[in-house]
Amino acid sequence: MGKILLVLTALIFTVPAFSDIVMNLQLPRTRFMLYEPVIASLVLRNTSGQILIFGTEAEFKGHLELELLDMHDRPVTGSGVKVDLRGLILRPGVDHQIGVNLSKWLKLRKVGSFRLRVYIAHPMLKNEYASNRCSLDISAGQVYWSRNFGLPDLQAAKSASDAQVRSYTIRSLQNKNDIHLYLVVEDKENIYTIKHLGILLGRERPSCELDELNQLHILFPLSSKVYRYTVYDWSGKQQHQAFYRLTETVPVLARTSSTGEVKVLGGEAAQPGVDYAQQKLLPNTPVKEYDPLDNLIGKPAKNKKR
């Protein structure tokens, strides 16, 4: 009997405290604009029955490893990078969601099709675990509207030939049945901003005008009755934003030719929470969380190829 108890005690203390992690990797859509930040959502579930802590000490120092392959199974530059997870606490049986900015770690600077997978490792995990695999396409999109402009010098007068030339370009990108529009501000050497403006709505189209300072004014239809009016400076920084709703008149952009002033005529000011829902109608509002899926997919990655 003593020998049996000794064997059972040894088995108890040699079984790993943490035995399983399941993960679900999600992307908000399958197609992205070139140079657009790509944020992946990863839902993790600790099924070991024990709390798992990621810290700075050697026994708690876990990480995520990002794997990005092209369609020929060749690693993309940055593939294999390890992302520190210090501060993350995975409680047993609880879905925990984190966002990973793939553009920060991987070189997503080429047009093409790719496959993404992440692995999680921790000193107290017996195995390294893999997520499901996601496919994504990077595209340069198509030019929807474009306008070159000279960068005004407000300090001293310069000739037109001396002015720095930039361009405002609105590019379209189709993802399934939706056509997304992006604002790109660039010159021959630099891209100053890429902003997701929203999705085209039926036959409604945005209107654009440049004012006397070459700032860009965009009136963008968010629904059949609500419009977003935004002003951007020469680097794509938002200077002003307002919302209008349809009344007996339709909101339109109007430019005074004698002064270059641009403003909205028609319609009336829309009320947040009444005429529009802030989170749904503002594409540039950061989304802190995606809704986790119920069916998580994950399996041990014992013999994965590099």
pLDDT tens, position by position, 22-64: 999 999 999 999 999 899 999 999 987 889 999 888 888 899 9
Residues 149 and 47 in one domain: no
Q: Which residues contact 201 (CB under 8 A, 6 or more apart)?
A: 221, 222, 223, 224
Residues 268, 147, single domain; the answer is yes
Please indicate, yes or no, if residue 248 is contained in any of the structural domains.
yes
Residue 130: which CATH number?
Answer: 2.60.40.10
pLDDT band at 161 (very low <50, low <70, confident <90, very high): low
SS3 state of residue 11 = helix
Predicted pLDDT of residue 202 = 85
Tell me the DSSP string of 197-257. EEE-BTTB--EEEE-TT--EEEEEE-SSSEEEEEEE-TTS-EEEEEEEE-SSS--EEEE-T
- What total number of domains does the chain contain? 2
Task: State the average pLDDT for the chain.
Answer: 83
Out of 139, 154, 176, a domain closes at 139
Judgement on whether residues 27 and 157 belong to the same structural domain of the protein: no
Q: Which structural domain, as residue segments, surrounds residue 100?
A: 2-139
205 and 253 inside one domain: yes
Q: Are residues 150 and 224 in the same domain?
A: yes
Domain for residue 290, yes or no?
no
pLDDT at position 87 over 60: yes
Measured distance CA(73)–CA(57) in Å, rounded: 35
Residue 256 lies in a domain: yes
**Model confidence at 223: pLDDT above 50:** yes
- Choosing from 109, 139, 169, the residue where a domain stops is 139
**pLDDT band, residue 163 (cuts 50/70/90):** low
Q: What is the DSSP letter of 272?
A: B
Distances in Å between the alpha carbon of 219 and those of 174, 222, 251, 253, 257? Answer: 21, 9, 8, 7, 18
Radius of gyration of the chain (CA): 26
Q: What is the pLDDT of residues 190-216, one digit of tens each?
A: 999 999 999 998 888 999 999 999 999
Q: Quick one: 153 and 118 in the same domain? A: no
Residue 232, pLDDT above cutoff 50:
yes
233-281 pLDDT per residue, tens: 999 999 999 999 999 999 999 999 999 999 999 999 998 877 777 645 4
| Residue 20 pLDDT class (50, 70, 90 cuts) | confident
- Span of 137-141, 261-265, 269-273, 282-286 with lowest mean pLDDT: 282-286
**Candidate ranges 150-154, 176-180, 272-276, 300-304; pick with highest mean pLDDT:** 176-180
Tell me the mean pLDDT in the region 59-74. Answer: 92
Q: Are residues 160 and 254 in the same domain?
A: yes
Contact 114, 135 (CB under 8 A): yes
Q: What percent of the chain has pLDDT over 90?
A: 60
Output the CA angle 37-278-288, nearest 5 degrees. Answer: 40
In a domain, 304, yes or no: no
Shared domain check, 252 and 213: yes
Q: Are 119 and 151 contained in the same domain? A: no
Residues belonging to the chain: 306
In this prediction, residue 158 carries a pLDDT of 54
Residues 6+ apart with CB under 8 A from 51: 89, 90, 91, 92
Give 297's strand partners.
Answer: 23
If asked whether residues 241 and 218 sit together in one domain, one would say yes
CB 276, CB 270: distance < 8 Å: yes
* Residue 289 within a domain: no
Q: How many CA atoms lie within 13 A of 28 on its CB side?
A: 19
- Spacing of C-alpha 98 from chain mean position: 13
Mean pLDDT over residues 225-240, rounded?
96
- The pLDDT, as a whole number, for residue 291 is 28
Residue 101 in domain: yes
Domain boundary among 111, 139, 167: 139
Tell me which of 29-33, 157-161, 294-298 is least confident: 294-298
Residue 7 lies in a domain: yes
Task: Residue 60: name the closest of 42, 96, 84, 82 by CA.
Answer: 84
Residues 240 and 134 in one domain: no
Q: Report pLDDT for 162.
A: 57
What's the mean pLDDT in 99-110?
89
Distance CA 243, CA 194 (A): 22
Please state the φ and ψ torsions of residue 258, each to the nearest 5 degrees: -75, -25
Model pTM score: 0.76
Mean pLDDT to the nearest integer, 103-128: 91
β-pair partners for 117:
67
CA atoms within 13 A on the CB side of 130: 14
What are the φ/ψ torsions at residue 8 (nearest 5 degrees)?
Answer: -65, -40
Does a structural domain hold residue 286?
no
Position 160 scores a pLDDT of: 53
Q: How far apart are CA 289 and CA 72, in angstroms?
A: 32
Residue 46's identity, in one-letter code, is N
173 and 256, same domain (yes or no): yes
Whether 173 shows a pLDDT value over 60: the answer reads yes
